[in-house]
Structure 1
Amino acid sequence: MSSRRIDLHLISDATGETLNSLARACLSQYEGIAAVQHRWPLIRSRFQLDRVLDGIEHEPGPVLYTLTDRSLRAELESFCQRLGLPAVSVLDPTLDMLTAYVGTASAGKPGRQYVLDADYFRRIDAMHYVLAHDDGQGEEGILEADVILVGVSRSSKTPTSFYLANRGIKAANIPLIPGVPPPAVLDRAERPIIGLTIAVEALIEIRRHRLSMIGAPRTHVAESAYIDPEEVKRELVAAKRLCAARGWPVIDVTRRSIEETATTVIQLMETWERRRAEGARPTGPSP
C-alpha cells in the first residue's frame, strides 16, 4: 500500500528534542503516512527565521514550533496563515495551565531546560558511570550504582543502562553466564537488583544478527550454542531461577521498547525505596 507523503516542519529556539519526541510519538499513530521531517533547531534571530520560511515555502506542510521570542512567533504565524498552513506552538497549552495554577508567568527564555545545573552534571556523571560499569566492568564500583541490571547476553541491559543514565541514574549491568556464578559483589549490594529476560525466539534472532555483524563464519553461526534453541532456553531458565532465588524482580523485555523497560526499572526502584523506608524487605514481584 502506497504511503501519503507530508512535509512536517519542526522549529525550535533550542535543540528541538522536545519537538522531535512529540512528532515521533504522534506520527506513530498514523498508518500510510510518510512524514518528511524538516528540523530547524536554534532559531533565535530574524535572519535564521527567514531561512526557515524559505524552506516552508519550498516544501509546504504543517508546522510545530517552540519559539519564545514574540516577534519571531508573530512572523512565523503570519507567514503560515498566508500560505494556509497550520502552525501550532506545542508548549503553549501546558505553559498557560501552569501559569494559571501557580500565578506566575513563565520566564520565556529559550533552551532553559539545558542550563548547566546540578541535574545536568548528574546525568553526565551517570553516563560516565555506565561506560565504566558496562557488562560487568569495574566490579567494586558496582556498589555505587543506583540500580543493577542482570540478565543473559543481549537482553537489552546496555541500552537500558544508557537510557537510565540520561535520566541521571547510575546503572551497572552484569551478564549472567551459564555455569558461572554471579559476582560475589552482588551479595553486598544495597541497591535494587533487577533481572531482564526475553523470549527465546527473540533472543536467538538478536544474537544471530550480532554474530553476523561481527563477521562470524556461517558454519560457526549455525553450530553455535550461543543461538542453539535448547541451549538458549536453558540459559534463560537458569537466569530466571537465579533471580527468583535471590528475590530479584524480573522484567520481560520481549515486547517493550528501551523507554518502556527503563520506565519499569524506575518504578521498581521506587517500590524498592518505599519498602526499605517501611522497614520491609526491599524486593518485589516481576512486572
Structure 2
Amino acid sequence: MSTLKKLKIVIISDGTGETAKAISRAVMTQFPDKDVYFTRFKNVRDKEQIKSIFDEAAIHHDLVIYTIVSSELRDYISEISRQKHVRSLDLMGPVLTTFSNYFEQEPKAIPGLLHQVNNEYFDRVAAMEFTLNHDDGRNLNTLHLADVILVGISRTSKTPLSVYLSQHGIKVVNVPIIPGTELPKELFEVDQRKIFALTIDPEALSNIRRNRLTKLGAEQHTGNYADDSKVTAEIEWASEIFRNNKRWPIFNVTNKALEETASDIMKLLSMRKNNIFKQTQSNLEDE
C-alpha cells in the first residue's frame, strides 16, 4: 500500500476558475509522475470566503492558485498566505499590472467579465444560426422562439436586417408577404409584440427591383415585378394588412441605412421588454 500523500491544488476565482484550471493542467503535463487533484472555488468575492479556504489549505499544506481581479482581495490573499504559511500563486495580478502600465489605464476590476463575454459570444452565434434557419419564412413551426419577426413584401431589406439584428444576439424570423397568398397562420399564434412590419416608398422599391433584375440578367422577363403600378398596388395591399394589425409597428426603410432601422427596432424592443417587466412586477405587487 502506497504511503505517498496525494497532493491537492486549490483554485480560487472570482469567476468560473476556467483560466486557472487550464493553466494548471498545462503546467501539470510537465510533471506527469505527480498524482494531484484539484479543488475549485468559484465566484469568490469576499474575505470571509477566502479565510475559510485558507484555514483548510493550511491544515493540509495545499497549494493555492488564484485568479482575482480585485487588488484589495489579492492583497488580502497575499497577507493570509504569509500568516498561515500556505504556498500561493497569483495568476492575475502581475498580468493586470503589466497591461495597466502598458495601457496607462487602471483595469475595470469587475469579476466574471470573461465568462460574460463568452456567454454573449455564444448567444450571438446561436442567434445567427437561428436567424439563418428561419430566413424567408422557413421553419415557421418554431416561430414562437423568435425575439423579432419581420414581415414585408419582397425587397424591403428583411434578410439583411435579420442578419444584422442577429449579430446583436437577437433571434429573428423574416416572413415574406405575397399578394394572392394567405399570411401564415403561425403569425397570429405568437406574441404580436414581436412582429415588426417593413415598408418602402413605391419609387424606391421599383428601382431596387429593376436593379435586382438587371443583376440577374432578367430584364426581358420582368413581368409585373418592377412595374410602377404593380409595385404601388403591392405596397398599398401590404399597408392595409399592417393597419389591420395595429400592434405591428411599421418601419419605412426608404433610403435608410440598415444600422438606422435596426437601431430603431432594438430601441422599441427594449422599451417593450421593460414595459412587460414593469407590468409583471406591478401584478406581483398587487397580489
Amino acid at match of 2:183: P
What corresponds to 1:122 in structure 2?
A: 123
What corresponds to 2:84 in structure 1?
A: none
What corresponds to 1:232 in structure 2?
A: 231
Q: How does 1:88-127 map to 2 (within 5 A)?
A: 105-106=107-108, 117-127=118-128
Could you tell me which of 215, 220, 240 is aligned with 1:213?
A: 215
Q: How does 1:58-69 map to 2 (within 5 A)?
A: none
1:69 is displaced (CA, Å) by: 7.8
SS in 2 for 1:169: coil
Amino acid at match of 1:249: P
SS in 1 for 2:255: coil
SS in 1 for 2:232: helix
| TM score, norm. by length of structure 2 | 0.56
Bigger radius of gyration among the two: 2
Q: Does 1:264 align with 2:264?
A: yes
SS in 2 for 1:149: strand
SS in 2 for 1:251: strand
Residues 136, 172 of structure 1: 8 Å contact kept:
yes
Residues 196, 250 of structure 1: 8 Å contact kept:
yes
SS in 2 for 1:117: helix
Residues 155, 209 of structure 2: 8 Å contact kept:
yes
1:249 is displaced (CA, Å) by: 0.8
SS in 2 for 1:178: coil
Over 3 Å counting, the alpha-carbon distance change for 1:239 and 1:113 in structure 2 is: farther
1:219 is displaced (CA, Å) by: 2.2
- C-alpha distance in structure 1 between counterparts of 2:156 and 2:114, whole Å: 32
What corresponds to 2:189 in structure 1?
A: 188
1:269 is displaced (CA, Å) by: 1.3
Residues 192, 272 of structure 1: 8 Å contact kept:
no
Amino acid at match of 2:254: T
What corresponds to 2:163 in structure 1?
A: 162
What corresponds to 2:154 in structure 1?
A: 153
What corresponds to 1:23 in structure 2?
A: none
- C-alpha distance in structure 2 between counterparts of 1:271 and 1:116, whole Å: 24
Deviations 1:165-216 (A, max 9, x none): 0000001000110121210001111251000111111111111111122221
What corresponds to 1:19 in structure 2?
A: none
What count of residue pairs does the alignment treat as equivalent? 178
- C-alpha distance in structure 2 between counterparts of 1:207 and 1:70, whole Å: 56
Give ranges in structure 2 of 5+ residues lacking alignment. Answer: 1-98, 281-287
Q: How does 1:17-36 map to 2 (within 5 A)?
A: none
Residues 127, 169 of structure 2: 8 Å contact kept:
yes
What corresponds to 1:246 in structure 2?
A: 245
Deviations 1:81-128 (A, max 9, x none): xxxxxxxxxxx8xxx7xxxxxxx6336xxxx88986111000000000
Amino acid at match of 1:202: A
Residues 114, 120 of structure 1: 8 Å contact kept:
no
Over 3 Å counting, the alpha-carbon distance change for 1:238 and 1:113 in structure 2 is: farther
Deviations 1:3-44 (A, max 9, x none): xxxxxxxxxxxxxxxxxxxxxxxxxxxxxxxxxxxxxxxxxx
What corresponds to 2:49 in structure 1?
A: none
Amino acid at match of 2:234: E
- C-alpha distance in structure 2 between counterparts of 1:272 and 1:70, whole Å: 43
What corresponds to 2:180 in structure 1?
A: 179
Give ranges in structure 1 of 5+ residues lacking alignment. Answer: 1-67, 74-91, 97-103, 281-287
Could you tell me which of 204, 207, 213 is aligned with 2:206?
A: 204
- C-alpha distance in structure 2 between counterparts of 1:189 and 1:276, whole Å: 16
